Amino acid sequence: MRVAGSKDTWIERLARAGYATKGVVYALIGGLAIKAAIGSGGSVGGGRNAVQEIGTQPFGQVLLVLTAIGLFGYALWRFIQAALDPENNGTDGKGVIKRVGYVASGAMHTALGVTAIQMVTGGGGGGGKKTWIAELMAVDTIGPILVGVAGVFVLGYALYQVHKGWTMKFKEELRTGQMSRTEEKAATISGRVGLVARGVVFAIVGGYVLKAAATQNPGSAKSVGGALSEIASQSYGVVLLATVAIGLLAYAALQLVLARYREIPSPA
């Protein structure tokens, strides 16, 4: 149900800005990884690395502020999806898991937005703080169990991404009636390739989170950047890294499509 007034307008605008910003971040992650793979500079890293790259550009401080706004907008939309359920995911098992995933996504993008602001203010991006894995592991008695649950959740999310891409369920979120045939075809290709590639990366992340739980060693966990480095370290690592990086560029393209064509229902 659409509620009259300006509230819906600014929520939708922030959400769309968030998808576009997420697309830029993943374009940088994929682009830098490709450059590293072919030996022309670049680096292998995750969202923090991408945000740092934004800060090195001309007018980097301004770009970082805009990036933070976009990331906070995306996080807000995720929190709204979780709390108000505008897409009617419901409260059954599947719906609850999906909504918990929205909370996790919102928290992750909020943290990345905070990193961007810290870089603007000279806070250093919080590099000396304990990771969330270490924080969970430190919980008395049940710390490793909590980390193990987190690892299972990340693996499940990875499988969901692959399933969503391969079955093209992401198209259900798009206003395909407003797209040309060329745009829809491009969105379909970028969605399938991008979601599968991102699923592979998150599967590696989830596996290492489980390893951290089993060994009770937070240092065993890997971020997105760590997962890409692990891919690069394998036999034919250059080819594998370049392939996954191209997939992440496709995922970035999908985010830009979502920024324009995603159905964003108003909270009831």
Residue 3 confidence class, pLDDT cut points 50, 70, 90: very low
What pLDDT score does 123 carry? 72
Distance CA 171, CA 243 (A): 23
Taking a C-beta distance cutoff of 8 angstroms, is the pair 26, 251 a contact? yes
DSSP SS3 for 81: helix
What pLDDT score does 154 carry? 95
DSSP secondary structure code for residue 4 in this structure: P
The yes-or-no verdict on residue 7 having pLDDT over 60 is no
User: Mind listing the pLDDT tens digit for each residue in 77-131?
Assistant: 999 999 999 999 998 988 999 999 999 999 999 999 999 999 999 876 545 556 7
Distance CA 60, CA 165 (A): 34
Distance CA 250, CA 48 (A): 20
Taking a C-beta distance cutoff of 8 angstroms, is the pair 224, 241 a contact? no
User: Mind listing the pLDDT tens digit for each residue in 25-77?
Assistant: 999 999 999 999 988 887 899 999 999 999 999 999 999 999 999 999 999 99
Tokens representing 170? Answer: 């992401």
Q: Tokens 């007018």 identify what position?
A: 59
Domain map (residue ranges) of the chain: 6-261
% of the chain residues with pLDDT over 70 = 94
Taking a C-beta distance cutoff of 8 angstroms, is the pair 14, 250 a contact? no
Taking a C-beta distance cutoff of 8 angstroms, is the pair 82, 106 a contact? yes
Residue 9 confidence class, pLDDT cut points 50, 70, 90: confident
DSSP SS3 for 141: coil
The yes-or-no verdict on residue 144 having pLDDT over 70 is yes
Residue 254 confidence class, pLDDT cut points 50, 70, 90: very high
Taking a C-beta distance cutoff of 8 angstroms, is the pair 234, 181 a contact? no
Distance CA 116, CA 123 (A): 10
| Beta-strand runs (E) in the chain | none
DSSP SS3 for 56: coil
Q: How far is CA 83 from the centre of its chain?
A: 19
Distance CA 266, CA 268 (A): 6
What pLDDT score does 1 carry? 38
* 146 class by beta-carbon count within 10 Å (0-12 exposed, 13-18 middle, 19+ buried): middle
DSSP SS3 for 159: helix
User: Mind listing the pLDDT tens digit for each residue in 167-184?
Assistant: 999 999 999 999 999 999
